[in-house]
């Protein structure tokens, strides 16, 4: 089978082509981990009628095959629609890191990821380049609040994150729960789903229980520590707790993480090089 790409000069590193769909493979490091079946079916039906309007982005060549950088949802839907070829932008002008970032930014800009895929994608973008929340926001064309709010959701327990991805809870619910301890998060999330409560009602429950979402854990600590705690949490993207003993004028700084991948990312954001020797 002859494709448009066979007619391109071998030296071309950035070109548009129609590629055999079987020559394209998904990126195992793709930010998206969840695909809505109903949405894919709807897109596949649209593609059958109108074709693929926006090309996918790939890297590779005819001999070795092509790897998706952006557009996995379109690629999956095109397969369901029975297409033999797919329009693609071939980007061989990028190094591996640039290629990963391109796909990630494309998904984040299009807001085509699920809630937690977006949160983890933003964290990954920050980790790759050591970016602050402000810098991440500039890269994807969003506000700083948008970035901080999504990163805050990574403080949620895994079962609560799943409820957000399943759209049983909203991002607003998640923001309220993120500052609570894990057991309280899980309990209140389950109750919120069972009773179909609003964000405002959930916030009322938290206040009723006297569960502080932010602020120093130790009574009598200077009030400015509450603001500092919040700023630190936004800066590192993880829950932060400052415990202070005013009598002894000493305390502890605790930063929460949920798995080793998140811990390694946290260390990188703090500037700690795990490979360096003492």
CA 113 – CA 111 distance, rounded (Å): 6
Nearest to 113 by CA among 127, 103, 128: 103
70 three-class SS: strand
Torsion angle, CA of 38/40/41/45, rounded to 10 degrees?
Answer: 140
For residue 229, indicate whether it is catalytic: no
CA 202 – CA 176 distance, rounded (Å): 8
Nearest to 59 by CA among 4, 99, 9, 11: 99
Positive or negative CA dihedral for 260, 263, 265, 267? negative
174: tokens are 């998640």
Nearest to 171 by CA among 158, 191, 156, 186: 156
Q: Which entry of 72, 127, 229, 234 is annotated as an active-site residue?
A: 72
Pairing label, strands 85-91, 240-245 = unpaired
Nearest to 174 by CA among 101, 129, 116, 125: 116
Nearest to 121 by CA among 96, 139, 94, 95: 139
* Half-sphere exposure (Cβ direction) of 193: Cα atoms closer than 13 Å: 18
- Computed on alpha carbons and rounded to an integer, the radius of gyration of the chain in Å comes to 23
Supply the residues annotated as catalytic. Answer: 72
């Amino acid at each position: 089978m002859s494709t448009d790409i066979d007619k391109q000069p071998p030296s071309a590193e950035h070109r548009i082509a129609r590629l055999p769909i079987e020559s394209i493979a998904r990126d195992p490091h793709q930010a998206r981990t969840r695909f809505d079946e109903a949405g894919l079916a709807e897109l596949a039906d649209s593609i059958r009628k109108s074709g693929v309007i926006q090309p996918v982005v790939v890297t590779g060549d005819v001999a070795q095959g092509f790897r998706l950088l952006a557009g996995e949802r379109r690629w999956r839907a095109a397969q369901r629609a029975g297409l033999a070829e797919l329009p693609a932008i071939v980007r061989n002008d990028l190094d591996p890191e640039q290629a990963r970032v391109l796909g990630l930014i494309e998904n984040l800009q299009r807001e085509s990821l699920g809630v937690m895929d977006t949160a983890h994608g933003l964290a990954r973008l920050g980790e790759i380049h050591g970016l602050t929340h402000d810098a991440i926001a500039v890269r994807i064309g969003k506000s700083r609040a948008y970035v901080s709010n999504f990163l805050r959701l990574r403080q949620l327990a895994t079962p609560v994150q799943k409820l957000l991805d399943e759209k049983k809870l909203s991002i607003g619910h998640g923001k309220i729960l993120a500052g609570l301890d894990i057991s309280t998060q899980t309990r209140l999330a389950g109750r919120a789903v069972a009773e179909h409560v609003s964000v405002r009602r959930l916030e009322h429950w938290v206040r009723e229980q006297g569960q502080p979402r932010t602020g120093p854990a130790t009574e009598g600590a200077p009030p400015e520590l509450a603001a500092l705690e919040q700023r630190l949490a936004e800066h590192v993207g993880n829950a932060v707790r400052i415990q202070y003993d005013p009598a002894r004028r000493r305390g502890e700084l605790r930063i929460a993480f949920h798995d080793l991948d998140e811990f390694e990312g946290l260390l990188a954001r703090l500037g700690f090089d795990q490979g360096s020797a003492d």
